[in-house]
């Protein structure tokens, strides 16, 4: 039978905005020594500002127009941000044959033109060479190709969540030994965010499937089998790692349904500070049970 104090622990957590899906997860939370985070939407807000547009043989507004349309059906935070940056209604064109490439970007036919938008990997998939990207300020670049030709790029930047720095510090106080960040973003951006928030370790340029492999590598480093490793994520791509983790924690407010479904713990308001809070509740609860 499940001791009554587990129910009290789950109740306390829920009043703090942390949904714990079962008593065993309180036990796992109390013994967590490594916390692995996704970057975008988890430690950063996942709300991007357009800070620059570099267009080749095309008008700047037209470049943004094409990017907003090719992203019309994507739920990726970058797609949402590009649509928001495009001031006009993004439903004036026909958008067909949409395909999203995880960790790369998206392709679609916009008014009969084949448009790709995404990172360097996306352009390699499209067979298009990028140019004019040297000496850019550090920020994510969304490249756009139209009918097999490079058309330019849009510079976007994300900001760190208000509580990320404090959350990482409090996790250490709550008994965590190591905080790790995994990201599909490029080295320059990933390492700058890691430095800004003070995370112990960062792994960049990871495709969704690479994230599971990297997580398994981290699992193998544990010193004894009672040490638990948590993963915190928000996206559709994060579901496999959330399932693989001893304890999967999902962002509930802006997170994808797939992530919330796959998780063991859901943070109702996407505040990373709720992770150390949940750990403290779990530890108190275990102290009573034991």
- The binding site for Mg ion (CB under 5 A) comprises 38, 40-41, 235
Within 13 A of 68's CA, how many CA atoms are on the CB side?
20
Residue from 38, 170, 264, 271 touching ligand ADP (CB under 6 A): that is: 38
At how many degrees (to 10) do helices 164-173 and 187-197 cross? Answer: 60
Binding mask 106-135 for ligand ADP (x = CB under 6 A): x----------xxx----------------
Query: Looking at beta carbons only, is 40 or 119 nearer to Mg ion?
Result: 40
Binding mask 202-231 for ligand ADP (x = CB under 6 A): ------x-----------------------
Report residue 117 as tokens: 């938008």
Query: Looking at beta carbons only, is 32 or 40 nearer to Mg ion?
Result: 40
Q: Which is nearest to 170 in space by CA: 53, 56, 275, 33? A: 275
Residue 81, contacted partner among Mg ion, ligand ADP, none, CB below 5-8 A by kind: none
Q: How far is the CB of 7 from ligand ADP (least distance, A)?
A: 35
Residue 106, contacted partner among ligand ADP, Mg ion, none, CB below 5-8 A by kind: ligand ADP
Query: Looking at beta carbons only, is 101 or 165 nearer to ligand ADP?
Result: 101
Q: How many CB atoms lie under 10 A from the CB of residue 160?
A: 15
Provide the edge-to-edge strand list for the sheet that holds 247-251.
Answer: 18-20, 265-267, 247-251, 228-233, 32-38, 178-182, 201-203
Residues annotated as catalytic are 38
Q: List, in sequence order, every beta strand (DSSP E) within the chain.
A: 18-20, 32-38, 49-55, 95-101, 105-110, 113-118, 140-146, 149-157, 178-182, 201-203, 228-233, 247-251, 265-267
Residues of the shown chain interacting with ligand ADP in the complex, contacts defined by CB under 6 A: 38-40, 71, 74, 76, 78-79, 100, 103-106, 117-119, 140, 142, 183-185, 208, 235, 237
């Amino acid at each position: 039978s499940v001791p009554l104090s587990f129910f009290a622990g789950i109740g306390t957590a829920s009043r703090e905005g942390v949904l714990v899906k079962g008593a065993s997860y309180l036990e796992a939370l109390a013994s967590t020594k490594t916390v692995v985070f996704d970057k975008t939407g988890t430690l950063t807000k996942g709300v991007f500002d357009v800070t620059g547009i570099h267009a080749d043989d095309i008008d700047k507004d037209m470049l943004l127009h094409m990017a907003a349309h090719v992203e019309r059906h994507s739920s990726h935070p970058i797609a949402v941000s590009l649509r928001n940056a495009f001031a006009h209604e993004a439903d004036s064109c026909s958008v067909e044959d949409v395909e999203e490439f995880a960790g790369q970007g998206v392709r679609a036919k916009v008014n009969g033109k084949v448009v790709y938008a995404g990172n360097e990997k996306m352009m390699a998939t499209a067979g298009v060479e990028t140019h004019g990207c040297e000496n850019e300020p550090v920020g994510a670049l969304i490249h756009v190709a139209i009918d097999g030709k490079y058309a330019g790029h849009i510079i976007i930047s994300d900001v760190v969540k208000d509580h990320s720095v404090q959350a990482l510090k409090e996790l250490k106080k709550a008994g965590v030994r190591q905080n790790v960040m995994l990201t599909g973003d490029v080295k320059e951006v990933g390492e700058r965010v890691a430095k800004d928030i003070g995370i112990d370790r960062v792994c960049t340029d990871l495709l969704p499937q690479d994230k599971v492999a990297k997580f398994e590598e981290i699992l193998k480093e544990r010193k004894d089998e009672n040490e638990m490793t948590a993963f915190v994520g928000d996206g559709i791509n994060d579901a496999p790692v959330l399932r693989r983790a001893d304890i999967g924690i999902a962002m509930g407010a802006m997170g994808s349904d797939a992530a919330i479904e796959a998780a063991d713990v859901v943070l109702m308001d996407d505040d990373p500070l709720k992770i150390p809070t949940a750990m403290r509740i779990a530890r108190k609860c275990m102290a009573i049970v034991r």
